[in-house]
Structure 1
Amino acid sequence: MFMAYLGSFFVLIYSPLKSFILGSPKKLWPAKITKLNKAGVPAFAMWCQAAIVAIFVFFISFGGSDAQSFYTILTDMANISTTFPYLFLIGAFPFFKRRHDLNRPFVIYKTKFSVYSTTILVLLVLIFGIIFTVIEPILEHDLITAFWTIIGPVLFGAIAWIFYVVHEKN
């Protein structure tokens, strides 16, 4: 079990960083951030991420209740912003299954019923998870956490959209 947790820990740390740094235009970052080491890893970016996480952990551990509530807000925003894109991915699954021009070495969902029932079930779980992540602070009368839980992903999504539009124009 320890190895499973350790493996998932490394994937959860490295995957977002790799997609964020290497998936964005190189002009957006200093050359040192995007430089890959001999293993193909943006090592300097990993060290920067480790330093930022260590600072967050330090302040959350010793910062009192304000730091704890800040951490709760960050966690809620991260939960929503990482879950939301999967709605599109899962929603596209039935359309992907309709395509017959793709080579599929093995097929798990063989009937339309299994495709649609799985899609609906997973969509409902994700939607309810997002809704309850937003509703929970409201039910506890923690309106600041509720506000930032909603506004944070919307704000950062808008910033990402602006970066995308500017990049497409150039």
Structure 2
Amino acid sequence: MKKIALFIAIAVAVAACGKQEAPQTPTSPESSHKAPAAQAPSRQSPVPAPEDKRGVAALAAAGVKFDFPHQVLYDILDVSGSGTPRHRVLVEIQGGEFDQVVEQFGESLEALGYQKDSGKETGGRIDSVYSAEGKPTYYLLMQPAGMGPKLMGKDSTGSIHIMWNIPSRN
């Protein structure tokens, strides 16, 4: 029953995000949705990350923390339009000033050794890329409430969409 509820929540969140695009970087995970990353492309939609490959767990293992009230709206695997397998996690900010939470989240990545390689703000939407030697590059799409995906909480102030490429096992 829990898995069915999770699947429905993910399907609703993905549908709400349908027309979003992430930062434009040649090898970044921002292109259209394609097949799951685990095997050869065979599906056209993102798939929920399996229990043993949750993005939230990978982020936590890397030291990434969400030090603000939040809810994970989805944790999925897919393949970018350029064929790069990627992981995507959408976090809803539930309370706090959006700009302040986004700034503190960026500072927390910098404290882990990441540096902000690029970033731009367009009408409230913030696209940023953070990288660090020997670590996954994170592509962030941050949007205040009323822009982007439909948020679930009544006190939600925005969302942080975190994407990173999945290393190939060649």
TM-score by length of 1: 0.30
Specify which structure has the bigger relative contact order, considering alpha-carbon pairs within 8 angstroms and separated by 6 or more residues. 2
More strand by share: 2
More helix by share: 1
* Larger Rg, first or second structure (1 or 2): 1
TM-score by length of 2: 0.30
